[in-house]
């Protein structure tokens, strides 16, 4: 692009001083005749020959122009303009070295000759001798500070030298002098792009388009800037505009393909790369990129064809050979893959990846000696190649060379202790010893070596699950599922971890597949049953739970869940049997005792209920629900003193247990121990000031103590909290009447005859 731009500059600007006014073709021919006659009239006069050189140059007859300039110089060697004209004509036919010589002589004769200095700088730039170009261009600008073309060319030169700030400065100066100069905006945008100043680059390209709407390269520049700044979606529109303006510009398609590819939209990237390869069909890189695009869509055979075409155009294209090898490896055509990798290393003997992949292929076929040879090639090229040392260790171990294997594993650990295949084996060994935390650390390090190693992912899932790190377990197991959905026991482990995270909907399909894959797995049946319970499908849960207790008849927890399920389905005999089995297996199974107590309570078998709740408390003397439920049964039986004792035991464990406080207050009311009932209700109010039940109950207590004003205050407070509380209105009316008839009895049966019994699970 830089040479093309400089060429345009030379054509459009350098020649302008030669003829200030455009001369029609007929006039030029007349001028040529005139100059020829003058030269014939005076063969020693250099001026006619110089005029002929200028005329021929303007007509594009550069060889004739050169001949006339040379004749001029022959007649007048010190005529700087002739040397400059000669350089101009040489430059026009791309004879840049000859142009340099001519401009050098012109500048020697006229050091301040701005056009000649510019021509010299321009010629050096064409030869890509950019450092040499700087001084003559600066000299030209010193002589003629407003020479737009010199600022532009110097900007181009600085850009080629990587001095982008200086380049931008000169592009801006060119635009100050000549604002309608789209090329300057464009090249400024290119410099901004190389500085990673993508917003500035985009603006410069947009300014280019304001002056020249069909400047398709500017659209490509915008697209490239957006791609480089990871704004791939925004790049698509400008690149499509470039294609609309110039459908034959291959670079537009290449960039469009890259944008789609970066967005992961590989099906749209493919057509762009197809056009790129169609237009630039002699370019092996175009076919190579098309092959990569096919690979992304898993069209391996099409990809191979594209790589083959790239190699037809350039057989020494190691990347194409390598990608073909990788595809053949994916297609399990190992011999073809090996052939391609061998070609890679013949072209590029230091290609580590090719040696490594060949080693892996030999290893997969248990050709351990050949594998070692290739992995040794890797370590000879890169002694710090961790994975090669790992594979060497593995292959030496298979060859029954433990000392060499250990040496390789040790080398790998010394190079990078965080990426080592050895850690997988070390992790599994730790697991066999029951040291799962240490094993977990080793497995995590092993995973860094090979992120898709199935056994490592599975073991990480197992170890994390055993250690209760269920979220971490699901991460590894989910990845394993994506790679190998039917691999080993992954379904069970994944489903189990999701259950522990209470993600039952997600767990269900995995556990259903697990029981199909492993019908005799206790865990698969158990966790499926548990999941169905949590999803409110108790009827469906029975079958897997029954299978689980059949597989493992000593599982008290399974009997407990089975008992709960039967209880929910009101299948009480089956529930009682299951919970009894749980307490038989585990005599201190608190929850089963509690559930049995609840069943017997609902069956009004209160003595058995008392026995079961006492069993729950005996198994766990801090089991608050057991005390509470026992207290409720005592209330039902009218054994209020024993009920109060149970509530007191709860409050000794948990002084803020509001249900125990409330129930105790009401039992004390039933016992007409009104003064003792005040503290429990007041404590509830202290804990929960908005408790209408506590305020209302305390009001009733005050009524019974004939403390009418305090009772009235409580009823008013209830109505503040709940304006629709009918009981408070009724009590206020009765309270008011009682206050007016102080001598009348205020005792009324204001309490409900029965209390709703709600047992705590």
pLDDT, mean of residues 189-210: 97
Give pLDDT, residue 699. 95
Give pLDDT, residue 761. 56
Nearest 5°: the CA angle 737, 743, 748 is: 60
Query: How long, in residues, is the chain?
Result: 761
Name the pLDDT band for 326 (thresholds 50, 70, 90).
very high
Give pLDDT, residue 19. 33
pLDDT of residue 5 exceeding 70? no
Give pLDDT, residue 395. 85
Q: Round to whole Å and give the CA distance between 746 and 711.
A: 12
**Domain spans of the chain, in order of start:** 657-761
pLDDT, mean of residues 606-629: 96
Give pLDDT, residue 513. 94
Q: How many CB atoms lie within 10 A of CB 200?
A: 17
Name the pLDDT band for 753 (thresholds 50, 70, 90).
very low
Nearest to 693 by CA among 655, 667, 735, 725: 725
Lookup: tokens for 193: 């792009």
Lookup: tokens for 507: 């767990």
Give pLDDT, residue 420. 61
Q: Round to whole Å and give the CA distance between 78 and 399.
A: 85
Give the chain's radius of gyration (CA, Å). 46
Q: Round to whole Å and give the CA distance between 722 and 692.
A: 7
Average pLDDT, the chain: 91
Q: What's the half-sphere exposure (Cβ side, CA atoms, 13 Å) at 121? A: 29
Nearest to 149 by CA among 126, 190, 178, 128: 178
Torsion of Cα atoms, 432 then 436 then 438 then 443, to 10°: 80
* DSSP codes joined into one string, 105-120: HHHHH-TT-HHHHHHH
Give pLDDT, residue 398. 77
pLDDT of residue 352 exceeding 50? yes
Q: Round to whole Å and give the CA distance between 346 and 358.
A: 13
pLDDT tens per residue, range 248-265: 999 999 999 999 999 999
* DSSP codes joined into one string, 132-187: HHHHHHHHHHHH-TT-HHHHHHHHHHHHHTT-HHHHHHHHHHHHHH-S--HHHHHH
pLDDT, mean of residues 288-301: 97
pLDDT of residue 409 exceeding 90? no
Residues 6+ apart with CB under 8 A from 604: none
Buried b (16+ CB within 10 A) or exposed e, 295-318: bbeebbebbbbbbebbbebeeebb
Give pLDDT, residue 755. 41
Nearest to 186 by CA among 208, 154, 210: 208
pLDDT of residue 50 exceeding 90? yes
pLDDT tens per residue, range 536-592: 999 999 999 999 999 999 999 999 999 999 999 999 999 999 999 999 999 999 999
Residues 6+ apart with CB under 8 A from 620: 588, 590, 626
Name the pLDDT band for 743 (thresholds 50, 70, 90).
very low
Distance of CA 49 to the CA centre of its chain: 71
Q: Round to whole Å and give the CA distance between 568 and 220.
A: 69
Name the pLDDT band for 749 (thresholds 50, 70, 90).
very low
Nearest to 642 by CA among 651, 650, 653, 634: 634
Name the pLDDT band for 759 (thresholds 50, 70, 90).
low
pLDDT, mean of residues 30-47: 91
Lookup: tokens for 565: 């399920």
- Answer whether 344's CB lies under 8 Å from 321's CB: yes
pLDDT tens per residue, range 305-325: 999 999 999 999 999 999 999
- Please state the pTM of the whole predicted model: 0.54
pLDDT of residue 750 exceeding 90? no
Lookup: tokens for 543: 């079958």
Give pLDDT, residue 758. 52
- Answer whether 177's CB lies under 8 Å from 151's CB: yes
Q: Round to whole Å and give the CA distance between 704 and 710.
A: 11
Name the pLDDT band for 438 (thresholds 50, 70, 90).
confident
* DSSP codes joined into one string, 576-641: HHHHHHHHHHSTT-HHHHHHHHHHHHHTT-HHHHHHHHHHHHHH-TT-HHHHHHHHHHHHHTT-HH
Helix (H) or strand (E) holding 320: helix 318-330
Alpha-carbon dihedral sign for residues 291, 294, 298, 302: negative
How many angstroms separate the Cα of 666 from the Cα of each of 68, 113, 267, 659, 746? 126, 114, 74, 11, 19
Name the pLDDT band for 397 (thresholds 50, 70, 90).
confident
Give pLDDT, residue 12. 39
Least confident segment among 16-30, 104-118, 401-415: 16-30
Give pLDDT, residue 754. 40
Backbone angles phi, psi at 613, to 5 degrees: -65, -35
pLDDT, mean of residues 662-686: 96
Give pLDDT, residue 24. 54
Give pLDDT, residue 11. 43
Name the pLDDT band for 441 (thresholds 50, 70, 90).
confident
Give pLDDT, residue 333. 96
pLDDT tens per residue, range 491-550: 999 999 999 999 999 999 999 999 999 999 999 999 999 999 999 999 999 999 999 999
Q: Round to whole Å and give the CA distance between 523 and 530.
A: 10
pLDDT, mean of residues 197-206: 97
Percent of the chain whose pLDDT exceeds 70: 92
Give pLDDT, residue 23. 45
Is CATH 1.25.40.10 what the domain over 657-761 is classified as, yes or no?
yes
Give the range with max mean pLDDT: 197-201, 418-422, 486-490, 495-499.
197-201
């Amino acid at each position: 692009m830089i040479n093309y731009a400089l060429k345009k500059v030379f054509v459009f600007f350098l020649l302008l001083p030669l003829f200030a006014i455009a001369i029609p073709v007929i006039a030029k021919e007349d001028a040529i005749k005139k100059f020829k006659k003058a030269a014939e009239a005076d063969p020693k006069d250099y001026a006619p020959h110089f005029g002929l050189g200028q005329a021929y140059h303007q007509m594009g007859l550069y060889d004739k122009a050169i001949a006339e300039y040379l004749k001029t110089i022959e007649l007048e060697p010190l005529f700087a303009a002739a040397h400059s004209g000669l350089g101009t004509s040489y430059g026009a036919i791309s004879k840049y070295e000859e142009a340099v010589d001519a401009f050098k002589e012109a500048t020697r004769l006229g050091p301040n000759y701005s056009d000649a200095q510019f021509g010299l700088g321009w010629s050096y730039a064409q030869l890509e001798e950019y450092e040499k170009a700087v001084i003559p261009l600066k000299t030209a600008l010193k002589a003629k500070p407003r020479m737009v073309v010199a600022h532009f060319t110097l900007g181009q030169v600085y850009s080629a030298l990587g001095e982008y700030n200086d380049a931008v400065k000169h592009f801006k100066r060119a635009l100050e002098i000549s604002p309608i100069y789209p090329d300057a905006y464009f090249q400024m945008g290119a410099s901004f792009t190389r500085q990673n100043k993508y917003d500035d680059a985009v603006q410069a390209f947009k300014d280019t388009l304001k002056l020249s709407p069909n400047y398709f390269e500017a659209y490509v520049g915008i697209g490239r800037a957006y791609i480089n700044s990871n704004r791939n979606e925004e790049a698509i529109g400008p690149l499509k505009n470039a294609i609309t303006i110039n459908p034959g510009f291959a670079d537009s398609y290449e960039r469009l393909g890259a944008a789609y590819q970066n967005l992961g939209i590989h099906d749209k990237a493919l057509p762009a790369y197809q056009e790129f390869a169609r237009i630039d069909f002699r370019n092996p890189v175009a076919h190579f990129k098309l092959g990569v695009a096919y690979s992304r869509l898993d069209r391996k055979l099409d990809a191979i064809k594209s790589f083959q075409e790239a190699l037809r155009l350039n057989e020494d294209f190691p990347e194409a050979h390598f990608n073909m090898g990788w595809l053949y490896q994916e297609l399990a055509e190992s011999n073809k893959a090996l052939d391609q990798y061998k070609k890679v290393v013949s072209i590029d003997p230091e290609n580590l990846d090719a040696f490594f992949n060949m080693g892996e292929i030999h290893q997969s076929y248990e050709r351990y000696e050949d594998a070692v040879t290739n992995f040794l090639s890797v370590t000879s090229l890169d002694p710090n190649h961790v994975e090669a040392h790992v594979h060497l260790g593995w292959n030496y171990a298979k060859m029954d060379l433990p000392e060499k294997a250990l040496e390789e594993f040790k080398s790998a650990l010394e190079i990078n202790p965080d990426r080592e295949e050895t850690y997988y084996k070390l992790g599994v060994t730790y697991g066999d010893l029951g040291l799962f935390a240490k094993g977990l650390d080793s497995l995590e390090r092993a995973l860094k070596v090979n992120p898709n190693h199935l056994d490592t992912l599975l073991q990480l899932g197992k170890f994390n699950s055993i250690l209760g790190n269920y979220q971490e377990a699901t991460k590894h197991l989910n990845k394993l599922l994506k790679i190998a959905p039917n691999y080993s026991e992954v379904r069970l482990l994944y489903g189990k971890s999701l259950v522990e995270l209470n993600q039952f909907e997600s767990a269900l399909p995995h556990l259903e597949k697990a029981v199909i894959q492993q019908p005799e797995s206790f865990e698969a049946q158990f966790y499926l049953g548990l999941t169905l319970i949590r999803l409110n499908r108790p009827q469906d849960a029975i079958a897997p739970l029954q299978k689980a207790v059949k597989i493992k008849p000593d599982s008290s927890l399974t009997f407990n869940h089975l008992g709960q399920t039967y209880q929910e389905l009101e299948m009480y005999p089956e529930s009682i049997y299951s919970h009894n089995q749980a307490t038989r297996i585990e005599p201190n199974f608190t929850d089963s005792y509690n559930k049995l107590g609840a069943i017997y309570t609902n069956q009004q078998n209160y003595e058995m209920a008392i026995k079961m709740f006492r069993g729950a408390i005996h198994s766990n003397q801090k089991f608050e629900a057991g005390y509470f439920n026992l207290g409720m049964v005592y209330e039902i039986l009218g054994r209020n003193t024993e009920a109060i004792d149970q509530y007191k035991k709860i409050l000794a464990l948990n002084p803020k247990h509001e249900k125990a406080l409330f129930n105790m207050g009401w039992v004390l009311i039933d016992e007409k121990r009104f003064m003792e009932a005040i503290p429990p209700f007041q404590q509830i109010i202290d804990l929960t000031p908005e408790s209408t039940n506590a305020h209302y109950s305390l009001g009733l207590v005050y009524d019974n103590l004939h403390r009418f004003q305090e009772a009235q205050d409580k009823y008013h407070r209830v109505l503040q909290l709940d304006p629709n509380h009918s009981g408070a209105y009724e009590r206020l009316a009765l309270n008011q009447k009682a206050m007016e008839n102080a001598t009348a009895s205020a005792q009324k049966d204001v309490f409900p005859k029965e209390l709703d019994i709600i047992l705590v699970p």
